[in-house]
Amino acid sequence: MIKRIHTFALTILAIILSVMFSACTDSDNLVFDEDNTSPISVSAFMAKSFDSTAIKVKSDTIIHGDSILFIANIYPSRSIRIRNSYWLLDNKFYASEFNVHDAIPLSGEHEIVFVLITYFGDTLTDTLHLWISSPPILDSKKYIPANGSQNIPPQEDMQFVWSAYDIDSICALYYHFTLVNLLDEENSEPNLIDTIISTPYFNMNRELKPLSQYRWTVQAYNEYNVPSTATISSSFTTSGIGDEGAIAGKLKMSNEDLFTDIDLIVLDKQKKPTNIKTSIEKTPTNGLFEIKPLPPGKYNITAQCKKGKDFVADTIQATVNAGQITTIGTLYMADKTPPTIQSEAGTDTLDFADTLRFIITDGGAKNAIGSTTVYIGNRKVTQYITETQKLIVPTIEEDRTWVPQFVTIITTDDSGNTTTKSFVLRPSILWFDTNHDTTISRQSNITIFIDDHNPYSFKLGSVKINPNGDVKGTITLDAEGETSIKYEMEGEAFFKNKQEVVTTVFYTNGISQSRSWTITLNEPPVMSYENNCYSPCSGVSTSSVLFRWYPAEDAEKDSILYRLNIALASDTSSDTTHYYYRSKHLKRTQLLLKDLPEGALFWWVEAEDPYGGNSGEWSHKAKLFIMSDEDYEKFMRAESDSTSTLEGQ
């Protein structure tokens, strides 16, 4: 029985162990699956900083003393189990961190290796190459030819000498040498010489231009292409033929577009222009100029601008030596003249209108309207129209008021000169009517009227009429108790052919309103016997006559109408003048009349313009003697015989 129990217990134990064993074992996981493995690899890089945007490289050259970052990347991750990792610098232990930021003190070529020993003992490496070099030292003060050397013969070989050394004494040096004509350089022309040489001197056997400025530059590089911090940039000038000299300089002005319109003027000791350079065409972008050739002596140099009269140049004195170019530095052309602002009417007081018109002028060549600000009252006008020198400012409903207000215009030219000018804008709401712009003949009169219709029952006190320069001056009229005033003026009373007349009403409560209008005086046409009689101006004629006259002279070139007058007596001044004939108003300058009475007659023509201006009678009239056809024939025959006898004698 005990044995049976024992056997049963063993069986149960075996089953339990079997179950436990099978439960703890996943047979699939024990099988090696190549797809589930992750290969381990390392890569190393260098970067100048920790910045994520820093460029990572495998090899680099840095300047002695600069620090650099060595970065080790491990795949699939830095957290895998490893035995060891470290950096080697030139085969010696360097560091054990994954990232090392350090400045390697030794110049030269270095090999940096990242070493990783995996958990299974495999060694993985990646190698970096680093060159550390100090920049070469170039003496930027000691060289041949010295800066500013002159009288260099342009046709001979030229020697350039400088000195440099490698502070580490491990590198050979080479030099980047360039030579350029100074004006060509400023115009981005290619260098005359652009070469790399291994010696600290250079012999140039290239012919140069006489009396020209050149610049040469040198920068030293070592074998690792590290450049010297210093560079040599030096200029020299070539000599001219004989004693020829030159003046060089730079023109500076705020508006460089005008460079091509500049005249450079060189005045000798007697202040006579000896050399005028019409433009700086060689250097349109920077104003460099050379004036040559000039004989040795003392000169004054100035400039003038053809397009921008506001630009005024300094005058610089210079002495020209034989074979040398005298550099005068910078010749400034300054524009200190601000723009001018005026109304199109020429007055500072303006009538309210839909558009206000102004003229802005500036001698700085560019249109100064471009930077203009306009205020009507306190309102800044944001929309206005600019044309060449014209500023057109539209008014809006908000600008309408019965009180005067200011129109302020601020404009700045290209040189920064600002002009601010204010105009008085008359009220837009007027309580009276007066004349509008009108044209009359100077021979006629004009009635100036004021009709008050103010809605507030203000009482008129007086009225002023200011014809602005009229012979009568300001006319003041008493208007107390009146609502309508009239005043008549002769056209002859106005000096100018066109002028502004200001009409102002003064109310008894102190309020006044003004309005301006323009009167244009039209000059009458002019005719005279001496200037306008064409034919027949004297002599005898048959009863059929074609009267012809020259057109009248009219200052305004108006359309003229003519009236032919024929009288039987020369005196036409009295009312009893007997006009034989007065024509209608004619556009043409001739008229045929038949059956004229025999005997003497006098004729003249009056011209009349559309404004009623009349040339009046001729002071001397044309006189004709009319004959019958028979008598006229006899008269002509007798005249002919008389002429023949005279010729026969």
Partner 1 sequence: MLSAGIVLSACFEIPSKPNEKESVKSISVYVKQDGVIDSTLLKIHPQDPAEISVTVHPNEYSDELEFNWYREEDGRKATRLGDGTKFHINKNASASSLPNKLVATDAEGNSLVSRFDIIINSPPKIDSIIKPQPSDTLYGNENTSFLFEWISHDRDNEEFSHTILLDGKAYAVGDFSSIRQSGFEKGEHTFQVIVIDNYGDSDSSEVIDFFVMNKGDK
> How many Å apart are CA 502 and CA 517, to the nearest integer?
6
Rounded to an integer, what distance in angstroms lies between the CA atom of residue 246 and that of residue 201? 29
123 binds partner 1 per the rule CB under 8 A: no
Q: What one-character DSSP code corresponds to residue 629?
A: H
Task: Compute CA distances 641 → 539, 541, 629, 649, whole Å.
Answer: 18, 19, 18, 12
- 527, burial (CB in 10 Å: exposed 0-12, middle 13-18, buried 19+): buried
Among 22, 59, 84, 199, which residue sits at the site for partner 1 (rule: CB under 8 A)?
199
242 binds partner 1 (CB under 8 A): no
Q: How far is the CB of 285 from partner 1 (least distance, A)?
A: 27
Q: What H or E segment, with its residue span, contains residue 302?
A: strand 297-305
Is the separation of the CB atoms in 352 and 425 below 8 Å?
yes
Going by C-alpha positions, the residue among 387, 237, 261 that lies closest to residue 324 is: 237
Identify which range of 321-329, 416-424, 519-527, 538-546 contacts partner 1 by CB under 8 A.
321-329
Supply the minimum distance, in Å, between the C-beta of residue 43 and partner 1: 48
Q: Is 221 in the site for partner 1 (CB under 8 A)?
A: no
Q: Which of 107, 134, 228, 324 binds partner 1 (CB under 8 A)?
A: 324
Please answer whether residues 410 and 419 qualify as being in contact, where contact means their C-beta atoms are separated by less than 8 angstroms: yes
Q: Does 373 bind partner 1 (CB under 8 A)?
A: no
CB of 152 to partner 1, least distance (A): 5
Do the Cβ atoms of 318 and 296 come closer than 8 Å? no
CA 74 to each of CA 94, 123, 544: distance values in angstroms, whole numbers, following the listed order: 18, 13, 129
Q: Is 165 in the site for partner 1 (CB under 8 A)?
A: no
Q: Which of 41, 203, 225, 420 binds partner 1 (CB under 8 A)?
A: 203
Distances (CA, A) of 57 to 46, 61, 74, 93: 5, 10, 16, 22
Nearer to partner 1, 326 or 343 (CB): 326
Burial class (CB in 10 A: 0-12, 13-18, 19+), 638: exposed
Tell me the C-alpha distance between 63 and 105, whole Å: 10
Q: How far is the CB of 151 from partner 1 (least distance, A)?
A: 5
Quick one: 140 or 151, whose CB is closer to partner 1? Answer: 151
Residues 126-145 that bind partner 1 (CB under 8 A): 142-145
Q: Work out whether 234 is an interface residue with partner 1 (CB under 8 A).
A: no
Closest CB 154 distance from partner 1, rounded Å: 12
Question: Under the criterion CB under 8 A, does residue 163 sit at the interface with partner 1?
Answer: yes
Q: Applying CB under 8 A, does 297 fall inside the site for partner 1?
A: no
Tokens describing residue 644: 């023949």
Name the minimum Å distance from CB 143 to partner 1: 8
Q: Can residue 159 be called a binding residue for partner 1 (CB under 8 A)?
A: yes
Nearer to partner 1, 146 or 396 (CB): 146
Q: Which is nearer to partner 1, 80 or 161 (CB)?
A: 161
Residue 245 as a binder of partner 1 (CB under 8 A): the answer is no
* 150 near partner 1, judged by CB under 8 A: yes
Binding site for partner 1 (CB under 8 A): 142-146, 148-152, 158-159, 161, 163, 199-201, 203, 236, 321-322, 324
